[in-house]
Amino acid sequence: MKNASLRRLISKRDIRRRVRELAEEITAHYQGRPVVVLGLMNGALFFLVDLLRLLPESVIVECRTVASYAGPSSTGKIHGLDMLHGNFAGKTVLIVDDILDTGLTLSEVRARLLDMGAKRVDVCVLCRKEGTRKVRVRAKWVGFDIKNEFVVGYGLDFDGVYRTRQEIFVLEPSSSTP
């Protein structure tokens, strides 16, 4: 996307506050029971780390790389699910992802974990987009409900860049000048 501009959507302070609230809710919910926190890379990287710092030491941490995007729209094809092998049988798994969009990624990952014998699979997402679902996915914890706009920053990229921005921005095409 040439001539794109960034419009700030969520501030650093709001992210920090919301992550703290989510960590408190998650901690209270599991009450020290064993949980495998499965972070989906690369988008959830910053969110995962900030959340993990506030979770109890008993959580087990796993990361897998899955991707469905090429450029600014979902390809609908999920890559990286074959990397999901691991010991999830009998475990409670909390998937941590960046964005719930069509829902294809999370429903596939969730189904795969249940196939592998996971006892329970919950979902926590940083952002949930409005009106974009192709399949139903229940996210137990949601950082922010957002409109159907392409966002970057705080781990989220556009073709690999913008991940290191500390805040969340909407990437919008600049109004073109003739």
Catalytic residues: 101
The amino acid at 91: K
Report which residue's Cβ sits closest to Mg ion: 43
Return the number of the residue (36 or 102) whose C-beta is nearest ligand 5GP: 102
Which among ligand 5GP, Mg ion, none contacts residue 26 (Cβ within 5 to 8 A by kind)? Answer: none
| Smallest gap from residue 172 Cβ to ligand 5GP (A) | 11
- Tokens coding 151: 């966002």
Q: Map residues 101-130 to x or -, x wherever contact with ligand 5GP holds by CB under 6 A.
A: xxxxx-------------------------
Long-range residue pairs from 164-169, CB within 8 A, at least 24 positions apart, any chain:
165/6, 166/12, 167/8, 167/9, 167/10, 167/11, 167/12, 167/15, 168/8, 168/9, 168/10, 168/15, 168/127, 168/144, 169/6, 169/7, 169/8, 169/9
With CB under 6 A as the contact rule, the residue among 30, 141, 150, 154 that binds ligand 5GP is 150
| Smallest gap from residue 176 Cβ to Mg ion (A) | 30
With CB under 5 A as the contact rule, the residue among 39, 43, 143, 153 that binds Mg ion is 43
Q: Map residues 34-73 to x or -, x wherever contact with ligand 5GP holds by CB under 6 A.
A: ---------x------------------------xx----
Bridge pairing between strands 141-146 and 67-70: unpaired
Contact 170, 1 (CB under 8 A): no
Which among ligand 5GP, Mg ion, none contacts residue 107 (Cβ within 5 to 8 A by kind)? Answer: none
CB neighbours of residue 84 within 10 Å: 18
Contact 25, 94 (CB under 8 A): no
Which chain residues interact with Mg ion by CB under 5 A?
Answer: 43
Which residues sit at the interface with ligand 5GP, rule CB under 6 A?
43, 68-69, 74, 97-105, 150-152, 156-158
